[in-house]
Amino acid sequence: MSPRTRTRRLRGIGVSDGIAIGRAVVIARREGEVFRIPIPEEEIEQEVERLRSACEETKRGIQRTRNSAGQLFGQELAAIFDAHQLMLGDRSFITEIERRIRRDRVNAEWAVHESSLELTRKFALIDDEYLRERGQDLEDVSRQLLRTLQGISQHEVSEVAGDVILVADDIVPSEAIRLGRANVVGFVIEAGGRTSHTSIIARSLGIPAVAGVEGITGMVTNEDPIVVDGREGLVVLHPGPETLAKYSGERAAEKSLEAATAPAEREEVLVTRDGAEVELLANIDLPEEIGEFVASGAHGIGLYRSEFLYMETDPHLPTEEDHLRIYRQLIEAAAPYPATIRTYDLGGRKLAREMMESAEENPVLGLRGIRLTLARPQIFRIQLRALLRAGLHGNLWIMGPLVSRVEEIRELRAALAEVAAELERDGVPFGREPRIGIMIEVPAAAVIADILAREVDFFAIGTNDLIQYSLAVDRNNRQVAHLYEPLHPAILRMLRSVIASGRAAGIPVSLCGEMGGDERYLPVLLGLGLRRFSVHPRAVARLRKLASRCDADALAPIADSCCDLATAGEVEKYLRSRPVTALLQREAK
Ligand code: PEP
Ligand code: MG
């Protein structure tokens, strides 16, 4: 057996359960180093052709970005992309690169790299400031062209027959949706952790995924056979016949278990062993989850991430009717329970990457969530109109993401009032009394939860971001994934105080981050006073079973003691040592 086809087992972080078996398609999108590769005489024209088609593909990509940018940020910003397209169409720029390929007999990447260096040096010497700045555009275009040359194009995924395991250094959520709906059956990603949006999408689509697998894109080539074990966080390259048989058996068992699971009774109220009522709601990202949600028996939708609607219609913004269609579907599926629809949480990584990258140095701390929508009233208005209209069809709860200030709630309410007046004037019917709430996912909001509670009808705690921002740990960064600690005493204290503030104000407090669906944290969350969980539809049944065995009163002093411990490790150990939580933790495994 050659070293390249020897069976290898690689460990990562299991981020979406299940077994997948298929053939690899490798997408390495981060810019790699550019190497000079000599090209034989007879292949020169082929290399020139490769450059030309990369130019065309890059132009198409820029056009897509331009359309979105025009709609979201106005024509002035979109003009930047016109300049990029013009450069790619400029014969002198492309001819120079072609000349290098022919003259130096080198690969297209090297020729782009060298030509761009030379030209940017020349631009830097120009006196005229405007022209000098065009050097940056040139660099930008060259970088995009290089990416196209280095990456693989979209159609290659569909070119591989049968089941595809996508192996990537990093993929943004919109790509994960697109690829997950094609013939991709498993994801293996170098970046990321459990709460990255790409991982969340993998779970939404029910696709097994392992993240944080260092260097895998360099070890695998297209068409290599691979097994992904999402529960164990394991990837097997070139599995032998025995390994394949083992995993095929496990996969078949999983499928028959899924088929045999009966839909849950929706009416049943969940009570803990000592009689505390607990509400279980579901998180929904994609329309294909609505069926699963109904079957789960969850009492409503605790989070619909509406920004994923934008990603589906990208490069066009969803119309009012697009919004209305999905919102109505959700509200009707959830009735009589609430459907909580979060207004766009775009920005950060949840936007065409090209769009924010050039505009913001640190997009996760930038124009994201409610800040972005309040800054783009003409786009927000479309979403708010659709929301109010959809409110006619059931129990609508509207939720603002990434709130950090009271003013944002007031502005959201004012925007809603304005849209309501407009609908009234136009004689368009709409629901008059949606509940208005916010995500608690910024530390500042957690600290002033008692003040915010006076302004809203409900809270939903977003631990994915609350942990990221409180611990200063990027939820998508593999290198600090070990520092992403839901049991950090700072997080537990914050949760305790937010839950108490909500309770004192008499408003519902749910938790809709990934922590809520992770059974290991159930005892401590119940102990902190949480009585409303919003989790993935597939997690509902299990959580229901475990919660019904808990004794909420006995868990309260245990959770309190956890808040006084020094480290997440100590908290974990302490929880394991208490008979009442140890039992649940063992079962949760
Ligand atoms: C969260 O931050 O916990 C949350 C639910 O929102 P998202 O994962 O979409 O950022
Ligand atoms: Mg969030």
- Asked if the structure places residue 35 within a domain, the reply is no
* pLDDT grade for 83, boundaries at 50, 70 and 90: confident
Is the CB of 462 inside a 6 Å radius of any atom of ligand 1? Answer: yes
Is pLDDT above 70 for 307? yes
The answer to whether residues 468 and 432 belong to one domain is: yes
Residues 489-502 have pLDDT tens digits of 999 999 999 999 99
Q: Which residue has the higher pLDDT, 573 or 315?
A: 573
Q: How far is the CA of 585 from the centre of ligand 2 (A)?
A: 26
Q: For residues 461 and 528, is the Cβ–Cβ distance under 8 A? A: no
Given this model, what pLDDT does residue 191 score?
Answer: 87
Active-site choice (197, 299, 323, 488): 197
Q: How far is the CA of 232 from the centre of ligand 2 (A)?
A: 26
Given this model, what pLDDT does residue 154 score?
Answer: 43
The answer to whether residues 475 and 362 belong to one domain is: yes
Residues 6+ apart with CB under 8 A from 484: 193, 194, 195, 467, 468, 471, 473, 475
Return the minimum-mean-pLDDT range out of 77-81, 85-89, 205-209, 541-545.
77-81
Given this model, what pLDDT does residue 75 score?
Answer: 63
Residue span of the structural domain in which 197 resides: 3-29+157-259
Q: Which residue has the higher pLDDT, 509 or 26?
A: 509
Is the CB of 513 inside a 6 Å radius of any atom of ligand 1? Answer: yes
The answer to whether residues 270 and 305 belong to one domain is: yes
Ligand closest in space to the Cα of 460: 1
* pLDDT grade for 84, boundaries at 50, 70 and 90: confident
The mean pLDDT of 388-407, rounded to a whole number, is 98
Closest Cα partner for 280 from 530, 552, 563? 530
For the CA of 195, the closest atom of ligand 1 is 8
Given this model, what pLDDT does residue 334 score?
Answer: 97
Q: For residues 366 and 306, is the Cβ–Cβ distance under 8 A? A: no
**What does each C-alpha distance from 410 to 339, 340, 366, 507 come to in angstroms?**
22, 19, 20, 18
What's the total number of domains in the chain? 3
Q: For residues 278 and 526, is the Cβ–Cβ distance under 8 A? A: yes
Known catalytic residue at 55: no
Domain boundary among 150, 167, 189: 150
* pLDDT grade for 155, boundaries at 50, 70 and 90: very low
- Asked if the structure places residue 34 within a domain, the reply is no
- Asked if the structure places residue 473 within a domain, the reply is yes
The answer to whether residues 214 and 274 belong to one domain is: no
Q: For residues 459 and 507, is the Cβ–Cβ distance under 8 A? A: yes
Domain boundary among 90, 118, 150: 150
Rounded distance between C-alpha atoms, residue 463 and residue 477, angstroms? 16
For the CA of 345, the closest atom of ligand 1 is 9
Is the CB of 441 inside a 6 Å radius of any atom of ligand 1? Answer: yes
The answer to whether residues 569 and 436 belong to one domain is: yes
Q: How far is the CA of 134 from the centre of ligand 2 (A)?
A: 37
Rounded distance between C-alpha atoms, residue 3 and residue 531, angstroms? 54
Q: For residues 401 and 367, is the Cβ–Cβ distance under 8 A? A: no
Q: How far is the CA of 580 from the centre of ligand 1 (A)?
A: 30
For residue 336, whether the previous peptide bond is cis, meaning omega lies within 30 degrees of 0, is yes
Q: How far is the CA of 173 from the centre of ligand 2 (A)?
A: 14
Is the CB of 100 inside a 6 Å radius of any atom of ligand 1? Answer: no
The CATH number for 54's domain is: 1.10.274.10
Among protein residues, the one with the nearest Cα to ligand 1's atom 6 is 462
Residue 123 burial (CB count, 10 A):
17
* pLDDT grade for 28, boundaries at 50, 70 and 90: low
Ligand closest in space to the Cα of 283: 1
* pLDDT grade for 133, boundaries at 50, 70 and 90: low
Given this model, what pLDDT does residue 416 score?
Answer: 98
Is the CB of 305 inside a 6 Å radius of any atom of ligand 1? Answer: yes
Distance of CA 169 to the CA centre of its chain: 15
Residue that has been written with the tokens 């204290």 in this structure: 493
For the CA of 513, the closest atom of ligand 1 is 3
Pocket test for ligand 1, best of 284, 341, 371, 464 (most atoms within 8 A of CB): 464
Is the CB of 196 inside a 6 Å radius of any atom of ligand 1? Answer: no
* pLDDT grade for 153, boundaries at 50, 70 and 90: very low
Q: Which residue has the higher pLDDT, 159 or 365?
A: 365
Q: For residues 479 and 468, is the Cβ–Cβ distance under 8 A? A: no
The answer to whether residues 234 and 273 belong to one domain is: no
The mean pLDDT of 166-195, rounded to a whole number, is 85
Q: Which residue has the higher pLDDT, 50 or 181?
A: 50
The answer to whether residues 273 and 253 belong to one domain is: no
Q: How far is the CA of 513 from the centre of ligand 1 (A)?
A: 5
* pLDDT grade for 152, boundaries at 50, 70 and 90: very low
The mean pLDDT of 122-136, rounded to a whole number, is 72
Q: How far is the CA of 401 from the centre of ligand 2 (A)?
A: 7
Burial class (CB in 10 A: 0-12, 13-18, 19+), 360: middle
- Asked if the structure places residue 36 within a domain, the reply is no
> pTM for the whole thing?
0.77
Pocket test for ligand 1, best of 281, 301, 305, 530 (most atoms within 8 A of CB): 305
Residues 412-435 have pLDDT tens digits of 999 999 999 999 999 999 998 999
- Asked if the structure places residue 578 within a domain, the reply is yes
Residues 102-111 have pLDDT tens digits of 999 988 988 9
Active-site choice (512, 550, 562, 563): 512
Is the CB of 464 inside a 6 Å radius of any atom of ligand 1? Answer: yes
Pocket test for ligand 1, best of 350, 372, 399, 465 (most atoms within 8 A of CB): 465
- Asked if the structure places residue 369 within a domain, the reply is yes
Tokens matching residue 428: 């368009």
Ligand closest in space to the Cα of 516: 1
Q: For residues 311 and 173, is the Cβ–Cβ distance under 8 A? A: yes
Return the minimum-mean-pLDDT range out of 32-36, 71-75, 403-407.
71-75
% of the chain exceeding 90 in pLDDT: 58
Ligand closest in space to the Cα of 196: 1
The CATH number for 13's domain is: 3.50.30.10
Residue type, 578: R
For the CA of 200, the closest atom of ligand 1 is 8
The answer to whether residues 113 and 175 belong to one domain is: no
For the CA of 462, the closest atom of ligand 1 is 3
Pocket test for ligand 1, best of 439, 466, 509, 510 (most atoms within 8 A of CB): 439
Q: How far is the CA of 528 from the centre of ligand 1 (A)?
A: 20
Beta pairing class for 225-229 and 209-211:
unpaired
The answer to whether residues 47 and 21 belong to one domain is: no
The answer to whether residues 434 and 575 belong to one domain is: yes
The CATH number for 414's domain is: 3.20.20.60
The mean pLDDT of 186-204, rounded to a whole number, is 89
Mean pLDDT of the chain: 87
Among protein residues, the one with the nearest Cα to ligand 1's atom 1 is 462
**Which stretches of 67-115 are assigned E, i.e. beta strand?**
none
Segment holding 399, helix H or strand E: strand 396-400
The answer to whether residues 268 and 248 belong to one domain is: no
Given this model, what pLDDT does residue 160 score?
Answer: 60
Known catalytic residue at 550: no
Q: Which residue has the higher pLDDT, 151 or 411?
A: 411
Domain boundary among 259, 284, 317: 259
% of the chain exceeding 70 in pLDDT: 88
Q: Which residue has the higher pLDDT, 564 or 180?
A: 564
Is pLDDT above 60 for 358? no
Pocket test for ligand 1, best of 197, 283, 441, 518 (most atoms within 8 A of CB): 441
Helix, coil or strand: residue 28: coil
- Asked if the structure places residue 382 within a domain, the reply is yes
Q: How far is the CA of 464 from the centre of ligand 1 (A)?
A: 5
The mean pLDDT of 8-33, rounded to a whole number, is 85
Return the minimum-mean-pLDDT range out of 178-182, 252-256, 263-267.
263-267
Among protein residues, the one with the nearest Cα to ligand 1's atom 9 is 305
Q: How far is the CA of 446 from the centre of ligand 1 (A)?
A: 15
Tokens matching residue 517: 């669906």
Most confident of 95-99, 117-121, 326-330: 326-330
Rounded distance between C-alpha atoms, residue 332 and residue 345, angstroms? 23
The mean pLDDT of 157-170, rounded to a whole number, is 77
Return the minimum-mean-pLDDT range out of 62-76, 124-138, 228-242, 256-270.
62-76
The answer to whether residues 121 and 181 belong to one domain is: no
Is the CB of 12 inside a 6 Å radius of any atom of ligand 1? Answer: no
